[in-house]
Amino acid sequence: MAKTKKQIIEDLKLIDIIVEVLDARTPKSSQNPDVREYCKNKKKIIILNKSDLADENITTKWIEYYKKNNIPCIKVEANTGKGLKDVIKQIKIEGKEIKEKYLKSGRTGRSIKVMVLGIPNVGKSTIINNLAKRNVAEVGNKPGITKTKQWIKIDKEIELMDTPGMLWPRLNDESIAEHLAFVNTIGENAIDNEQISYDLLKYLVENYKEKIEKRYDIKIENGEEIIDIRDRIALKKGAILSGGRINEQKISDMILTDFRTGKIGRISIEKP
């Protein structure tokens, strides 16, 4: 079951370090406004996950941005495990101070307790499973199954709470909802795929024109209407109904899927 906010606040009493997982393509929109409150007396590390799908230059800028704000930030590819060693390293750096505090109060041998937090679909379970080196959390688009809380020992110093804190994004802001729909954080039924696909194509033509040209083997004219570009892609891809009309549903889904699976290339939606 997804944890409620109340449950997360209760669980956080046991936690020393919060690992907030963001989608590297949309670090701003995938942030949850409550985390600031949760982190008041805790150390925080940011993971920019799915960095294999994001624009490397922009990810570097985000890391610099967080560094400037004194927040350690690490780029990760959770499905391959790339970057997670650096996360462990950072947990140990942050944990050093905490351990010293424990030692002073006579609590020797206490491990550093970590919780992974983030909005749906950013890769929390994949990260936990990879750190645990076994499947403890369910991966997919559904919330995990209920089970009793247990701690996963990462090594002799670090323990991880086995269920992640799932937070809700701030969907009342239109641009946040749109960006999260691009990266598929909002459930499929909640959105109008044709509209989202159109908005995404517009963003891609404005920011990554060459990648669209290359993927769909077209040349985009200056000032060409997005609808015309979409229709030309549909013709190339054979997304045509009998009678020659454009199959709008099919081409919309195709563009969204191509983007989400990285087929158009590495793309970031938000810059710092």
The footprint of Mg ion (CB under 5 A) covers 125, 144
CB of 236 to Mg ion, least distance (A): 37
Q: Which residues of 10-45 are buried (b: 16+ CB within 10 A; e: fewer)?
A: ebbeebbbbbbbbbbbbbebbbbebbeebbeeebbb
77 binds ligand GTP (CB under 6 A): yes
Q: Which CB sits closer to ligand GTP, 95 or 123?
A: 123
Judged by CB, which is closer to Mg ion: 95, or 118? 118
Listed residue (37, 257, 25, 18) closest to 124, CA to CA: 18
Question: How far is C-alpha 63 from the geometric centre of its chain's CA atoms?
Answer: 15
**Shortest distance, CB of residue 104 to Mg ion, whole angstroms?**
36
User: Token pair of 257, please?
Assistant: 């899927």
Give the position of tokens 């610099």. 64
Nearer to ligand GTP, 52 or 213 (CB): 52
Binding mask 156-175 for ligand GTP (x = CB under 6 A): --------x-x---------
Distance from C-alpha of 66 to C-alpha of 82, rounded to nearest angstrom: 20
What percent helix, strand, coil does the chain show, rounded to 5? 40, 15, 45
Comparing CB distances to Mg ion, the nearer of 117 and 251 is: 117
Question: Closest distance between Mg ion and the C-beta of residue 112, in Å?
Answer: 22
Is residue 219 within 8 Å of 202, Cβ to Cβ? no
Least distance CB 171 / ligand GTP (angstroms): 15
Residues lying near ligand GTP in the complex (CB under 6 A) are found at: 49-50, 52-53, 77-79, 118, 120-126, 139-141, 143-144, 164, 166
